[in-house]
Structure 1
Amino acid sequence: MKVAVTVKMKYEILSSSSVILSILPFKSDAQTVWDEAFQAVPGVTMQEVPAAAGEKRMKIIDVPDAGTVSFSFSAKVENIMKTIPAEQLVDVAIPLMPASVLRYLHPSRYCQSDRLYKFAYHKFGHLYHGFDKVMAVRDWIHENVEYSGGFTTPHTSAFDTITEQVGVCRDFAHLGVALCRALTIPARYVTAYSYQLQPQDFHACFEAYLGGHWILVDATKMAPLNGMVKIASGADATETAFASTFGNLQFQDHEVNVTLLDSDFEAVDSDSTLQGYSFS
């Protein structure tokens, strides 16, 4: 899939502040990024740095003076998602997991899997196959959590979501991660640009480690899996926030647009249970 991505963001700076943006598409063997352009008006000091953990690229921006600052980003992205038959996506024994995967078994700030063990095994523990468990987690969230804005905050956790049963893509993803970890399936939070997502915005989903692959899962089922462009992955939103701000500033607004460049693109149903899709 080939797409063009554009993003605009605006902040009101009240005094000297810093912003860390994680809105750049991640570069990998499966995802190529070209024709990138990042601008700030007025001009500011900025640098790009790789993440110490997880998958992401960061822009660290220093804004010394008060006023309005606008950021704009554009790029073209091509990714090739791997298709893996469902029967190959089995649970991986802990001794066989790579060291880089083990950290995604543990509870994290927004994904308190240690508080969801009993629920997870009551609902999904009877399922034998790893992929079946993850698909059951996805479907349970989709069927039992209402997708609605205005009810959750940046502090809402997976435990809050399973209690209140309402949220947005961020909350759906955190709950999916937490339930998979409670089932001893490594899982990580993923941010993405998403073709056909309506309305256009940043999107959140999750990946589960099955059969030696990170399998993409979207519990909202709002967009095709092969229409995703990965921005970042990490333990939860603490490691993948689109913007982290430091100082005295206020977010004003943002705009995201993803335009298809492929004439022969065929959307993959996010409700599929016959195969898994992976960025790697």
Structure 2
Amino acid sequence: MRLRTKAELKYSFAEPTQIIGLLHAAKSPDQLLLSEVLEVSPDTPVSVDEGLSGDRRFRACLSGEVSVAYQAEVENNARQLLPVAGRQHVWGELPVEVLPYLLPSRFCPSDQFQRFSQREFGAAGDGVARVMAILDWINRHVDYVHGVSTAESTAAHTFTVRAGVCRDFTHLGITLCRALSIPARAVSAYAFELDPPDFHAVMEVYLENDWWLIDTTRLAPVEGLVRIAHGRDAADIAFLTTDKPCQLINQTVQVERL
């Protein structure tokens, strides 16, 4: 699927503020970047860094009222969907770079859910069957509702209130997978057919020697996701991180099929 993504963010910075932005489409084997442009107005020096995983961050020092616009065209026809069956690896088989995604993190206290996860999903079958059982449980028991969570809400909070938005669904899915020793990580993405359009949080699980994208909310097709970045949880994939407070004036996100 060939997609065009557009994002425009307008912020007010009361004083010179250092920022790290995550808007660029990632370079990854399942996603071919065809073209892109990043514009900052008023014109400001910007550096773009590419990580080993293909995630790209831009850095700048911004002040006053600033508009940041990003547009890209990507082709993701190499994207593979989660297979109907797949083996879960024992720890000794996992690549060393995958190991951090077994561990609890700031928003995903998986160590608190081991007993629950084993009881609810441990007998579901192979790795894919366990992941699907987790997704089914979340979609049966958690409602998609705005305003019941904050930027500080953890998966434990979502498990208690049984409601949240994409970030909360993703954190809960990651937490329950890790509690079963299935590596899982958070992914920020642009999402085709997401309504209303916005940045979207999804997750990846490591099974059968590969990472597989999954939309825990089931609101957007996986083949229509444009990967931006991945990390342990939302703290690693925020689209804007600043060293001083700032005010969001306006934000628009669009994804169209070409």
Per the shorter chain, which TM-score range?
over 0.9
**d(CA) in 2 for partners of 1:57 and 1:259?**
22
Q: Is the 8 A contact 1:7 1:254 kept in 2?
A: yes
Residues 138 and 217 of structure 1 are in contact (CA less than 8 Å); yes or no, is this contact kept in structure 2? Answer: no
Residue identity opposite 2:196 in structure 1:
P
Confirm or deny that 1:37 pairs with 2:37: yes
Give the deviation of 1:30 after TM superposition: 2.2
Question: 1:46 Cα deviation (Å)?
Answer: 1.2
1:102 corresponds to: 99
- Identity, % of aligned pairs? 37
Give the TM-score taking structure 1 as reference length.
Answer: 0.89
Instruction: Provide the secondary structure at the position in 1 that maps to 2:249.
Output: strand
Q: What secondary structure, in the 3-state scheme, does the structure 2 residue paired with 1:160 have? A: helix
Q: Which residue in 2 is equivalent to 1:50?
A: 50
The CA deviation string for residues 153-188 of structure 1, in whole angstroms up to 9 with x for no partner, is 110001111011110000000000010000010001
Partner Cα distance (2:203, 2:28) in 1: 18
Q: Is the Cα–Cα contact under 8 Å of residues 16 and 248 in structure 1 kept in the other structure?
A: no
**Aligned amino acid, residue 141 of structure 2:** N
Question: Which residues of structure 1 form unaligned runs of 5+?
Answer: 262-280
Retained in 2: the 8 A contact 1:187–1:208? yes
Distance 1:149 1:91, change over 3 A: same
Q: Does 1:255 align with 2:229?
A: no
Match of 2:230 among 209, 228, 233: 233
In the other structure, the counterpart of 2:187 is 190
> CA 1:55/1:114 → structure 2, altered by over 3 Å: closer, same or farther?
farther
TM-score, normalised to structure 2, is: 0.96
SS at match of 2:46: strand
Q: Give me the whole-angstrom Cα distance separating, in 2, the residues matched to 1:6 and 1:252.
A: 17
The answer to whether residue 157 in structure 2 is matched with residue 141 in structure 1 is no
**Which runs of 5 or more residues in structure 2 are unaligned?**
none
- Contact 2:36–2:70 (8 Å) recurs in 1: yes
Q: What is the number of residues matched between the two proteins?
A: 257
Equivalent in the alignment of 1:167 = 164
Coordinate RMSD, CA, aligned: 1.3
Choose the corresponding residue for 1:153, options 150, 153, 175.
150
Instruction: Check conservation: 1:191, 1:204, Cα contact below 8 A.
Output: yes
Counterpart-to-counterpart distance in 2, 1:23 and 1:72: 9
The aligned counterpart of 1:15 is 15
Moved over 4 A (4+): none
CA deviation vs aligned residue, 1:187-230 (integer Å, no higher than 9, x gap): 01111111111111111111111111211111211111111111
1:215 aligns with 212
2:136 & 2:55 partners in 1: Cα distance?
A: 28
User: 1:52-85: per-residue Cα shift (whole Å, max 9, x none)?
Assistant: 7x6521011111x4x2100101110111212464
1:123 Cα deviation from its structure 2 partner: 0.9
Distance 2:177 2:81 in 1: 21
